[in-house]
């Protein structure tokens, strides 16, 4: 009984369970360890890369995201606003994959060919295939959602009398 009161007092004081705090502290410890390892070799270059990446993202990419999002919303029209996430999610995942694998997709770094064991020409096609699968999956989810809504709408309608 005392353990339950202590846990309840902890939850009131902290806001979550002790397990959540333990996991949070463990993640901070892991991030700290990774940071120390990362900064051990050339901390100035790593710090410059992080600052540059943050500035590039905030000053260049975020406005581009916003412009593209507004364009898609206008193309869909005001009446179809609920469809936007079926385009946003696969586009965001595809762009994230492009960002991570850009040197291989653009064939700018030939030294990775020996590490991957694949010729440079396969990465663009595979990224396009993954992008197509992401959009096809999103379209399938939209189709399922639309068919469920139609079925529930027809069930709610009163029967017609002839």
Confidence class for position 126, pLDDT limits 50, 70, 90 = very high
Give the residue, 34 or 116, on which the prediction is more confident. 34
Burial group, residue 90, by CB count within 10 angstroms (0-12, 13-18, 19+): buried
Confidence class for position 116, pLDDT limits 50, 70, 90 = confident
Q: How large a percentage of the chain has pLDDT more than 90?
A: 35
Confidence class for position 2, pLDDT limits 50, 70, 90 = low
For 100-132, b/e burial (b = at least 16 CB within 10 A) is ebeebbeeeeeebbeeeeeebeebeeebeebbe
Task: Measure the CA–CA gap between 81 and 161, rounded to whole angstroms.
Answer: 36
pLDDT, tens only, 18-42: 888 899 999 999 999 988 888 888 8
Angle between helices 85-105 and 122-156 (to 10 degrees): 170
* pLDDT score of 8: 80
CA-nearest of 148, 56, 145 to 102 is 56
* pLDDT score of 31: 92
Confidence class for position 155, pLDDT limits 50, 70, 90 = low
pLDDT, tens only, 79-89: 677 788 999 99
Structure tokens at 45: 């270059």
H helices within the chain, ranges in order?
A: 2-14, 18-56, 62-76, 85-105, 112-116, 122-156
* pLDDT score of 142: 93
Give the residue, 141 or 117, on which the prediction is more confident. 141
């Amino acid at each position: 009984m005392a353990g339950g009161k202590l846990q309840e007092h902890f939850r009131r004081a902290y806001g979550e369970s002790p397990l959540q705090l333990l996991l949070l502290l463990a993640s901070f410890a892991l991030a700290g360890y990774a940071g120390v390892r990362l900064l051990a070799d050339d901390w100035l270059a790593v710090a410059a890369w992080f600052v540059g990446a943050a500035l590039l993202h905030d000053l260049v990419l975020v406005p581009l995201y916003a412009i593209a999002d507004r364009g898609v919303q206008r193309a869909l029209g005001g009446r179809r606003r609920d469809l936007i996430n079926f385009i946003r999610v696969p586009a965001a995942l595809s762009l994230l994959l492009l960002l991570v694998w850009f040197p291989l997709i653009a064939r700018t770094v030939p030294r990775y060919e020996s590490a991957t064991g694949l010729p440079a020409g396969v990465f663009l096609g595979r990224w396009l295939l993954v992008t197509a699968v992401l959009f096809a999956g999103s379209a399938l989810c939209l189709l399922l959602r639309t068919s469920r809504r139609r079925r529930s709408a027809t069930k709610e309608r009163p029967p017609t009398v002839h």
